[in-house]
Amino acid sequence: MPANALKQLSREKIELATKFGVVKVEPDHVVVNGTAEYVRSCCEATLKRLGVDYIDLYYVHRIDMSVPIEETDYSSISTGKFHGYLHRKPPSFLTVQELFVRENANDIKAKFVIEAANHPTDPEADEILAKKGVVILPDIYANSGGVTVSYFEWVQNIQGFMWDEEKVNNELKTYMIKGFKNVKDMCKTHNCDLRMGAFTLGVKRVAQATILRGWEA
């Protein structure tokens, strides 16, 4: 999805930047900061570190629930002494954890949601969106492409044979199509949504592997 969106840009070279949001990790909690000043400072530091004049996709690692999203004015990053910016309009998306929560779920107007982040929808928001008829493609599937390609890397390493990009893409397409079909079949069998279908399929596979390995109680 990021690749398809970024293809709409006129530039041949696309700049992707690292995540922000986490200030530090304490033993019992994670310190986050979502203020406009902090986001701007992160962007400035990234521009300087990378030696670039713009950023097309900036990844939010942890959202600051104490700061209203409208106050974290990402578009304001384009002002000031540098030319870096985050797209607010298509192609644009910031991937954040727990973006959809009970407090804002009723305001969601989308008919379809693709969870490009890890756990962007909390359980309460998930229930609200389901009642509204919103179709959610869960993170467990939407994020699986990267993990699948990591598996391909492992396969290439043990074979000592490198694939070209076309083969990687073709293999990934095969796995993703097959995976979606398997999830849909599980949804039909148990009359459930995509998230529950994916979870059910995953648990079923782990249970089957456990039995085959003789680990059952």
Tens-place pLDDT, residues 121-162: 888 889 999 999 999 999 999 989 989 999 999 999 999 999
Residue 168 pLDDT: 94
Interatomic CA distance for residues 59 and 41, integer angstroms = 15
Bridge partner residues of 25 (DSSP)? 30
Interatomic CA distance for residues 32 and 110, integer angstroms = 28
Lowest mean pLDDT segment, chosen from 2-6, 52-56, 194-198: 2-6
Interatomic CA distance for residues 208 and 210, integer angstroms = 5
Bridge partner residues of 119 (DSSP)? none
Interatomic CA distance for residues 165 and 152, integer angstroms = 11
Predicted confidence band of residue 185 (pLDDT cuts 50, 70, 90): very high
Q: For 135, phi and psi rounded to 5 degrees?
A: -90, 120
CB atoms within 10 A of CB 8: 9
Residue 53 pLDDT: 72
- Residue 192 DSSP symbol: -
194-212 vs 165-190: helix crossing angle, rounded to 10:
100
pLDDT for residue 172 is more than 90: yes
Strands 112-114 and 135-137: parallel
More confident residue, 33 or 70: 33
Q: 150-169 burial by CB neighbour count: b if 16+ within 10 A, else e?
A: eebeeeeeeeeeeeeeeebe
Lowest mean pLDDT segment, chosen from 18-22, 73-77, 173-177: 73-77
**DSSP-assigned states of every residue in 123-151:** HHHHHHHHHTT-EEE-HHHHTHHHHHHHH
Residue 78 pLDDT: 41
Interatomic CA distance for residues 122 and 108, integer angstroms = 14
CB atoms within 10 A of CB 75: 13
- Residue 214 DSSP symbol: T
The Cα-based distances of 73 to 6, 45, 79, 117 in angstroms read 21, 17, 11, 20
For 51-86, the pLDDT digits (tens) are 777 666 656 666 677 776 556 544 444 433 333 333
For 80-125, the pLDDT digits (tens) are 333 333 333 333 344 455 567 777 888 888 888 888 777 888 888 8
Residue 114 pLDDT: 86
